[in-house]
A and B are shown apart, each in its own frame.
Chain A
Amino acid sequence: MARSVTQPQGRGDARNAPSARRHHRAIDDDGPSSWLFTIPAFFILLLFVFYPFLNTIRLSFTNSRMLIPGHWVGMENYVKLFQSDQFWTALLNSSLYVVCVVPFMLILPLILASLVAKGPKIIGFFRTTYYFPVVLSAVVIGLIWTNLLDSRGLINSIFQSLHWITTPIPFLTDRWLTLFSAMLVTIWEGLGYYMIIYLSALANIDPSLYEAAEIDGAGPIRQFFAITVPGVRSTMTLILFLSSASAFRVFSEVYVLTRGSGGVGGEDITMTMLIQREGTGLSARTGYASAISVVLLIIVGAITVIQQLIVRRGDD
């Protein structure tokens, strides 16, 4: 089956397409019954995106619990939140996640993408295996890495048989090592995804640039820094923000690696884990959990707004 439709090549196109047809906007020649087509989509959108968004903000100013609607308490939840050590721990962990994971997501996938962009069949094999982890669930990935990082798991066993260590490294029980282990898992899982985004950017670089550099005697490393990196600059910006937003929201990896406990003493809890812990269950403080949610929405929203501003400025 030949596909006759050009595929969209990235988020950028999704944003630009409507504006390309702007001159049609004022015309209403298909009539208001056109709206009927959008009903199923709007139903889900309003019910599960915009309503919960507004309700989260409202609830954050109430003392509601799971089974009690509660009443308006003003800023009380936020005051409690900012006095809670657990909140600051979660905010620290999630922020640290962004700071540590994002540089890897920016650089490693680009190197991978330029290594597998073109070449013989075997390169295609590497490309395929590299993006396979992307389709796996974070739970399976978490289970696999729990086995590997266990005090008696493969990695400790290798280190011990090489006599690098005598006692196992507590990858999953130390406060900081647990967080770094989870970051490793996130990176393992994300490399292929960002590699694919870089691959579509690499495809847009004019190959004659590389040929010219070759003639000038520039080696592969020179070419990488002189042509590849500048050529994918806007994609790098995109990945910077995409990976920041998704690193800040991390949940499954930390949850599975710590067996749902958030680490020893809950010291490895992340923002999303805190929302899940405070906001679900019969005695959940839904108002308080909503205040945490609002903080998450504001931070992720700020990341997104900054990204949009930079992308818009780049377009002009």
Chain B
Amino acid sequence: MNHRRKVTVGGVIKYIVLVLVFIFLAGPLIWEISLAFKGPGDNVYAIPQYLIPKTPTVNNFVEAFHRVPMAHYFANTLVVVAINVLGNIIGCSMAGYAFGCLKFRGRGFAHGLFALAMLMPTEGLLVSTFLLVKSMGLTNTLFGVALPGMVGPLNVLLMTNAFAAVPKELIEAGKVDGANKWQRFVHICLPQVKGTITVVGILAFVASYNDFLWPLVALSDDSKYTLTLGLNRLQGTFYTDPRLVAAGACISLIPIIVFFAIFQRYLFEGLQAGGIKG
């Protein structure tokens, strides 16, 4: 069935549209990278502007690290991300197993509560969540930043679906062999849902790496700042040099680009399953 592609008017228009959308979506990122490499010899306010730096330099990156403790903020973010990824993988797998593979009284009701929680806008709970974390003495701690996101209701539902799809024969065979429900969880069911665990881990990673509102509220001590808060500070009134802001933004992009490249396929599935921005 190897027929040659004909060049049609419709085909040309399609590619023109695709390229225009590409410029709209990728252009700002490319521009930001160019800006980050522009040196003192470049007029960043030139009219007309130009893309290729005339005096390329990495000084902006050095300067960004120098002015704002980017490495420190990055380490803080990693702590929060690690807690959230582990928390979601463990907590959601366990709950998903119970809802998907076990039969017990009240299961439908309990599962329904998670579906309800998924619809709750956290912005509306901000003040009470802050008061609660404060009464626990966890404001201004990285654990306090991570805690509310440690088990995402959506992730519980994703894991439930995955566990519900584990072949019943496997579970029955485990029962016949005398495995109790903890052994069946670890040895039989978990290996079957590795893919969804990856998706859940990715969703938790992206959500906590990018979160802004909650850390903004929960942290006031800037030595505890996460990367998003640090970046926001980079843009603060002290620094009006767009090159520095661009360098900081580019630094924060590197981990997420690497992450995107490695887990692209899972990410796509995770997004299709309704994660991140929903």
* Chain B: CB-nearest residue to A2: B195
B98-113, CB under 8 A of A: which get 1 and which 0?
Answer: 1100111111101111
Residues of A within 8 A of B268 (CB): 131, 196
**A59–B128 CB distance below 8 A:** yes
**A154–B31 CB distance below 8 A:** yes
- Docked Cα-Cα span, A246 to B21, in Å, equals 23
**B115–A34 CB distance below 8 A:** no
Interface residues of A in 168-192 (CB under 8 A from B): 188-192
Verify if A73 is at the interface (C-beta below 8 Å from B): no
B65-108, CB under 8 A of A: which get 1 and which 0?
Answer: 00000000000000000000001001110110111001111111
- Docked Cα-Cα span, A111 to B17, in Å, equals 10
Residues of B within 8 A of A77 (CB): none
Residues of A within 8 A of B256 (CB): 135-137
B197 to chain A, nearest CB (A): 10
Verify if B132 is at the interface (C-beta below 8 Å from A): yes
A140 to chain B, nearest CB (A): 5
Residues of A within 8 A of B210 (CB): 135-139
Interface residues contributed by chain B, number (CB under 8 Å)? 114
Residues of A within 8 A of B111 (CB): 18
- Count of chain A to chain B residue pairs whose CB atoms are closer than 8 Å in the complex: 334
**B115–A14 CB distance below 8 A:** yes
Q: A14-B115, A137-B228, A193-B277 are in contact. Are A275 and B126 (CB under 8 A)?
A: yes
Residues in chain B within 8 A of chain A (CB atoms): 10, 14, 17-18, 21-22, 24-26, 28-29, 31-32, 35, 45-49, 87, 90-92, 94-95, 97-99, 102-108, 110-115, 117, 119-121, 123-132, 147-148, 150-151, 153-154, 156-158, 160-162, 164-166, 181, 185, 192-196, 199, 206, 209-213, 216-217, 228, 231-232, 234-237, 242, 245-246, 248-249, 252-253, 256, 259-260, 264, 267-269, 271-274, 276-278
Query: 9 A-B residue contacts at CB 8 Å?
Result: A44-B91, A52-B128, A59-B128, A111-B17, A134-B271, A143-B231, A143-B246, A146-B245, A147-B246
Residues in chain A within 8 A of chain B (CB atoms): 1, 3-11, 13-15, 17-18, 21-22, 24-25, 27-35, 37-45, 47-53, 55-56, 59, 111-112, 115-116, 123, 126, 128-140, 143-148, 150, 152-154, 157-158, 160-161, 188-193, 196-197, 199-200, 219-220, 242, 245-246, 249, 251-252, 255-256, 259-260, 271-272, 275-276, 279-280, 284, 286, 289-290, 293-294, 296-297, 300-301, 304
